[in-house]
A and B are shown apart, each in its own frame.
Chain A
Amino acid sequence: MSGFILEARDLELRFGGVQAANGASLQVRANERIAIIGPNGAGKTTFINLCTGYIKPQSGTVIFAGQDITALSPRAITRLGIGRSFQIPQLFLENTVIENLLLALSAREGSWSPFLKLTRHPKIDEMWALLEIVGLKDTGHRIVRELPEGMRKLIDIALALALEPKLIFMDEPTSGVSSHEKFQVMDTLTRALDARSTTAIFVEHDMDVVARYANRVAVWSGGRIALEGSPEEILSHPDVRESVIGEVV
């Protein structure tokens, strides 16, 4: 065992003329909260997709908890303990928020009895607790399609959390969430992650969120990590301030 919960080694992926992953490598220790930042098209989401089996790399490996997961399906990777939320939330739009979450809890518990109504699921209290974490307890009975994008993003995270993953990838978790709710949501979310000892890797464009909630930052550029370090080091780095934050140094 290397001591890392996740190790991505030299991932390569080319779509046509675009090098989406160009020797991307990242080592993650348990309980870390790593923010991935970088300009659009740097390959941040591609990296998540490669680590979660959505696309397969042309070369390189992904090791999770000592097991090579490079060739595994998203389903198998999820079952091993990796959860994810998406840049565009992936939800069951015609169902209520409650049904979405209870389906995730059923998946985790493997409870598929045809005689048990989903809304009478024994884990219903846990479902409400999950909604509380993302600050959406009042929306439980609403159809997901009717909700704004920001709320959908939070439900997407709650779905991943419901699986009690060891590691969670979150792709822009607070985009679309109002600025005054952003920190409130992140506070409860990080408390929940700490309580569950869940390692988190999140793509983020809001540098205030990065500074406050990450304990390591990886700057993505050209399909690989260009810089890596503590939030203080990275966010004060002149190259980052120019190319990512957009300040004239």
Chain B
Amino acid sequence: MSRQYLIGAGLLIALVAFPLLSPWSTVILTVALCEGLAALGILVLLRAGQVSFGHGLYFAFSAYVVAFMAAAHLGHEVLLLVPIATAASGLVAALVGLFIVRYRAIFFGMLNLAISMVFFSLLEKLFSITGGADGKRVPRPTLLGMTLERESFEFWMFYITLALAVVAALFVARYLASSGGKALEAIKSNETRLEYLGVSSRKVLYGAYLLSGLLAGLGGAIIALVSGHVTPELAYWVRSGEFVFIAILGGVGGVAGPFLGALMFQIIRGYAAVYAPETWHAVLGIMLLVIIFFAPSGLYGLIAGRRRASGEAAR
């Protein structure tokens, strides 16, 4: 079994067990998984050497689709809302991707940021439709036709999110190991040669962009259901930056990385907000500096590296 699967399995066991031991943790863990899904989308793009500072767009778009559908009593069911909202985000990614894949490096990152900020402004300014800065309430939908109390709803939403995160991570791992995934890496290492193999690097990046938009959209749809409220802050640049932060913190060497990063991010944010409410952003910044200087492969690389080292010692 590869190291990637072992780390993933360890993380999965811990996640399955934790809410059973500490029911209070389900919402925090669900939020972490949603952010992990968006950061997984960032990981996909980072494999091509591209960074998006605007994936809050897809996160927020699906969240608002859920909010509008729920408010309009259209398909007031989790198993309908999540796929429809995710697909809607995928559609936006498909449209934005048409021109954004023509750009690389800083232009790619900044264009994503610009588009997400346009969406953020629309959410804030179109008060009569979006509720402005106050956002919109998301009434709790049914789950498999059952109307659940808040605690039960949160409990089951966690396990549904966990299952979806596992499926998404396995799919991304398989994709990255496939010819398409290697072609994506080739954009980073040698786009000239890729073109001289007769491969359209734009098409390769477009596919990856679409996938990353869907992943962020999936995270956004679930977070809207779990938090019961959506605000323009979901599309704000700080949120998009958090996804990049989480991806780097967790490490982009394996698909478990973004989820490790998201969990650590939630833990730091949770504790720092209590013990250092005025300076918790500084704590996050210092954490990122430590990771960049001492563990550039992120938490995933740290664990994978240690395991390899101990394995070699055992031999």
Tell me the A residues contacting B by CB distance below 8 Å. Answer: 52, 73-75, 78-79, 83-84, 90-95, 99, 102-104, 106-108, 111-119, 121, 159-160, 163
Contact = CB atoms under 8 A, between A and B. Distances in A.
Contact of A111 (B171, B179, B181): B179
A103 B190 contact: no
Contacts of A94: 185, 189
A103 B183 contact: yes
Nearest to A119: B177
A116 B177 CA distance: 8
B178 A116 contact: yes
Contacts of A119: 177
A91 B190 contact: yes
B198 interface: yes
A104 B182 CA distance: 11
Max chain A C-beta neighbours (<10 A), residue from B175, B179, B195: B179
Contacts of B200: 75
Given A103-B183, A116-B178, A78 B197 contact: yes
B3 interface: no
A94 B182 CA distance: 11
Max chain B C-beta neighbours (<10 A), residue from A75, A94, A102: A75
B197 A99 contact: no
B4 to A, nearest CB: 13
Given A74-B192, A75-B196, 13 more contacts: A75-B198, A78-B195, A78-B196, A84-B196, A92-B193, A94-B189, A103-B182, A113-B180, A114-B180, A118-B178, A118-B181, A119-B177, A163-B197
Max chain A C-beta neighbours (<10 A), residue from B174, B182, B198: B198
A121 B182 CA distance: 13
A92 B186 contact: yes
A52 B186 CA distance: 20
Max chain A C-beta neighbours (<10 A), residue from B177, B192, B196, B198: B196
A118 B177 contact: yes
Contacts of A102: 179, 182
B199 interface: yes
A73 B284 CA distance: 46
Given A103-B182, A114-B181, A163 B174 contact: no
Top 10 closest pairs, chain A to chain B, by CB: A106-B179, A90-B193, A78-B198, A107-B197, A114-B175, A79-B198, A112-B180, A92-B189, A75-B195, A74-B195
Contacts of A116: 178-179
Contact of B178 (A83, A115, A163): A115
A121 B177 CA distance: 11
24 contacts: A52-B196, A73-B195, A74-B192, A74-B195, A74-B196, A75-B198, A78-B198, A84-B196, A92-B193, A94-B185, A94-B189, A99-B182, A103-B183, A106-B182, A111-B179, A112-B178, A112-B179, A112-B180, A113-B179, A114-B175, A115-B178, A116-B178, A117-B174, A163-B198
A207 B84 CA distance: 67
A90 B190 contact: yes
Nearest to A162: B197
Given A102-B179, A112-B178, A115-B178, A95 B195 contact: no
A124 to B, nearest CB: 12
Contact of A112 (B183, B185, B190): B183
A118 B175 CA distance: 10
Contacts of B179: 102-103, 106, 111-113, 116, 118, 121
A117 B195 CA distance: 22
Interface in B131-152: none
Contacts of A160: 196
Contacts of B174: 114-115, 117
A75 B199 contact: yes
A74 B185 CA distance: 20
A21 B182 CA distance: 37
A64 to B, nearest CB: 14
Interface in B75-114: none
A107 B190 contact: no
Given A91-B193, A112-B179, A159-B193, A107 B185 contact: no
Contacts of B181: 114, 118
A166 B181 CA distance: 28
A95 B186 CA distance: 9
A234 to B, nearest CB: 29
Contacts of A84: 196
Contacts of B175: 114
